[in-house]
Amino acid sequence: MNLKALKDTYKRSDVLLPSIERHVLKKAKEPSDRRSDIMHPSEMAKGDWCGRHDYYRIIGEPKNYKGRSPSFRLENVFDYGHSVHAKYQRWLHEMGIIWGKWYCKDCGNTWVGGTPITCNQCFSPKVKYNEVPFVSEEMMIAGHSDGIVNMDGIYKMIEIKTIGLGTLRFDAYSLFDRYQKENLTLDELWWNIKRPFASHIRQGQIYLHLTQLLYPELEVDEIIFIYEWKPTQEVKEFSVKYNPDLISGILETAELVAEAVRNGEPPTPPEWATKDGKKCASCEYRNTCWGEDDDSTQGEEAKPTIRIKRSTAAKRGRAVRP
Structural domains in the chain, sorted by start: 39-288 (3.90.320)
pLDDT at 307: 34
Average of pLDDT values for 149-158?
A: 97
Q: Are 104 and 122 in contact (CB under 8 A)?
A: yes
Q: Which of 285, 284, 306 is nearest to 295 (CA)?
A: 306
Average of pLDDT values for 245-250?
A: 96
Q: Are 283 and 289 in contact (CB under 8 A)?
A: yes
pLDDT at 11: 61
Average of pLDDT values for 213-220?
A: 97
Q: Are 280 and 274 in contact (CB under 8 A)?
A: yes
pLDDT at 64: 80
What is the Cα–Cα distance from 200 to 40, expressed in whole angstroms? Answer: 14
pLDDT at 139: 95
User: 3-state SS string over the chain?
Assistant: CCHHHHHHCCCCCCCCHHHHHHHHHHHHCCCCCCCCCCECHHHHCCCCCCHHHHHHHHCCCCCCCCCCCCCHHHHHHHHHHHHHHHHHHHHHHHHCCEEEEEEECCCCCEEEECCCCCCCCCCCCCEEECCEEEEECCCCEEEEECEEEEECCEEEEEEEEEECHHHHHHHCHHHHHHHHHCCCCHHHHHHCCCCCCHHHHHHHHHHHHHHHHHCHHHCCCEEEEEEEECCCCCEEEEEEECCHHHHHHHHHHHHHHHHHHHHCCCCCCCCCCCCCCHHHHCCCCHHHHHHHCCCCCCCCCCCCCCCCCCCCHHHHHHHHCC
What is the Cα–Cα distance from 113 to 218, expressed in whole angstroms? Answer: 11
pLDDT at 13: 67
pLDDT band of residue 51 (cuts 50, 70, 90) is: very high
Pairing of strands 127-129, 98-104: antiparallel
pLDDT at 277: 87
